[in-house]
Amino acid sequence: MPSNIIAIVGRPNVGKSTLFNRILGVREAIVHGLPGVTRDRKYAEAEWAGKHFTVVDTGGFVPDSKDVFEKAIREQAEIAIEEADVVVFLVDAATGVMTLDKEIADILRKSQKPIYLVVNKIDSAKREVLAHEFHELGLGDPVTISALAGREIGDFLDVITSSFERNGKEEKKEGSLRLAVIGKPNVGKSSLINALLGKNRQVVTDVPGTTRDPVDSIFKYAGEEIVLIDTAGLRKKRRTAESLEFFSAIRTLRSIERSDVAVILFDAARGVDVQDLHIVETAIERRRASIIAVNKWDIVEKETKTARQFEEFIKDKLGLYDYLPVMFVSALTKQRIFKLVELAKKVHEEQCRRIATSVLNNKMLRDMERNPPKSSSPKEIKIKFITQVRTRPPMFTFFCNEPQLVQESYKRFLANKLREHFGFEGVPLTLVFKRK
């Protein structure tokens, strides 16, 4: 089940980023431990009491220009209402109720979303009295915390996640394969969707999205229903560039969450930039099987080995994510677009595979005997047993005597060995280390 989205909204300098970082710092279990993942963006996956969710900090999206300052604040609140499952409205006990707080509260009161009024900077019981004046905002009883000191953060998380379902170990039920087409603006996302839904294909139905979701299209391919999730549409045009960026990021998150496989479009004419790589990281952080589709390949002047050289260039840029398959397509000419669907089906099958425990240990224990883990401590690390605990995405548990001493470089070595022996092309692997 997709995790819920919690958006933290509020005027500047009330502590949104501090609360964001505090929530990430108290998650109870490691969801995944990929090194080198960009942490400068304003959304991330977190966990509390077995419940997974995405937390979004809207603070970094306020433009510096003062003439559009309040407009941008209102837009951020509107977007948060539109896209989030739960909204945390953060206010500052030190300053009391401000005019901008009232404006944001007016917007929030009209929504049908769960709104939690949270008063920050209550760092002692004596300061609890400062929260009373915030009742005038008309959003119910305030929750009091200190994001900086960590005071009452556990109780706060219990409250805001109370309606979330606990993430069990049950694997997803089989259904139609869901493909999310994601990428930067103008890389051809809608063109690819339209090409796949051409007249030579049987369109079963068009499913209109809700106010929060993009439009899904369902088509039959080789007798199988495929759901295409298009992230391209932006409904409201009267937005600042900063708000559009935020809106696009949240919709991309939504689409990734609802998909089985992410088709990440690059533009062959524009190359690969930081924004492309951020989108890749977002998909991998969400533990989604992914494919790189290089669109507009029809306009690239071809030379000998051009595709191979471009693929090597992309793999080099991907770094840790070089296990993602690359396919060169053209939405305009329909070049290889149905091979792309075949590849997505293959990658989906890969993430559904379960490796027998005996096979897993026979292969991996030999590798670890030849290349044992190094320890920065006098204690020797001994990994004694491995088992695959889930699929979609695959998760492997390594039982050892000193799990906290296993270095990131050795974890990458083990992940590479798993791929070498068992494939998993396009599939993120989660490695968990537990004490035997």
Stretch among 100-109, 320-329, 424-433 having the lowest mean pLDDT: 100-109
pLDDT given for residue 99 in this prediction: 86
Asked if residue 289 has pLDDT above 60, the reply is: yes
Confidence category of residue 285, pLDDT binned at 50, 70, 90: confident
Distance CA 342, CA 224 (A): 11
pLDDT given for residue 35 in this prediction: 32
Rg (CA), the chain: 24
Closest CA to 263 of 179, 348, 351, 177: 179
Q: What integer is the mean pLDDT of 377-390? A: 92
Instruction: Give the CA-trace dihedral at 310, 312, 314, 320, to 10 degrees.
Output: 180
Output the six-digit token pair for 46.
Answer: 């977190």
> 321-349 burial by CB neighbour count: b if 16+ within 10 A, else e?
bebbbbbbbbbbeebbbbebbebbbbbbe
Distance CA 219, CA 210 (A): 20
Q: What integer is the mean pLDDT of 100-126? A: 89
pLDDT given for residue 406 in this prediction: 92
Q: Are 111 and 145 in contact (CB under 8 A)?
A: no
pLDDT tens, position by position, 297-314: 998 887 767 888 999 999
pTM over 0.85: no
Asked if residue 388 has pLDDT above 80, the reply is: yes
pLDDT given for residue 321 in this prediction: 95
Mean pLDDT of the chain, nearest integer: 82
pLDDT given for residue 174 in this prediction: 57
Distance CA 425, CA 92 (A): 48
In the block, tokens 């490796």 appear at 355
DSSP letter string, 29-87 = S-S---TT----SSEEEEEETTEEEEEEE-GGG--S-GGGHHHHHHHHHHHHHHH-SEE
In terms of pLDDT, which residue wins out, 295 or 3? 295
pLDDT given for residue 65 in this prediction: 43
Distance CA 133, CA 119 (A): 10
Whole-number percent of the chain with pLDDT over 70: 80
Asked if residue 163 has pLDDT above 90, the reply is: no
Q: Are 59 and 42 in contact (CB under 8 A)?
A: yes
Distance CA 20, CA 88 (A): 11
> 270-299 burial by CB neighbour count: b if 16+ within 10 A, else e?
eebeeebeebbbbbbbbbbbbbbbbbbbee
Q: Are 56 and 70 in contact (CB under 8 A)?
A: no
pLDDT given for residue 376 in this prediction: 81
pLDDT tens, position by position, 5-28: 898 888 888 888 889 889 887 433
Whole-number percent of the chain with pLDDT over 90: 49
In the block, tokens 């959304």 appear at 43
pLDDT tens, position by position, 232-272: 543 444 444 555 566 667 777 878 888 999 999 999 988 89
Confidence category of residue 168, pLDDT binned at 50, 70, 90: very low
Asked if residue 230 has pLDDT above 80, the reply is: no
pLDDT given for residue 185 in this prediction: 79
Domains of the chain, with CATH numbers? 4-160 (3.40.50.300), 177-351 (3.40.50.300), 357-435 (3.30.300.20)
Confidence category of residue 213, pLDDT binned at 50, 70, 90: very low
The segment with the largest mean pLDDT, out of 21-35, 126-140, 221-235, 273-287, is 126-140
pLDDT given for residue 190 in this prediction: 82
pLDDT given for residue 215 in this prediction: 56
Asked if residue 280 has pLDDT above 90, the reply is: yes
pLDDT given for residue 28 in this prediction: 31
Stretch among 61-65, 129-133, 156-160 having the lowest mean pLDDT: 61-65
In the block, tokens 């091979």 appear at 339
Distance CA 68, CA 281 (A): 31
pLDDT given for residue 401 in this prediction: 93
pLDDT given for residue 244 in this prediction: 57
pLDDT given for residue 33 in this prediction: 32
Q: Phi first, then psi: what are they for 252, rounded to 5°? A: -65, -45
pLDDT given for residue 72 in this prediction: 58
**DSSP-H helix ranges across 319-431:** 337-351, 357-370, 408-422
pLDDT given for residue 379 in this prediction: 87
pLDDT given for residue 335 in this prediction: 94
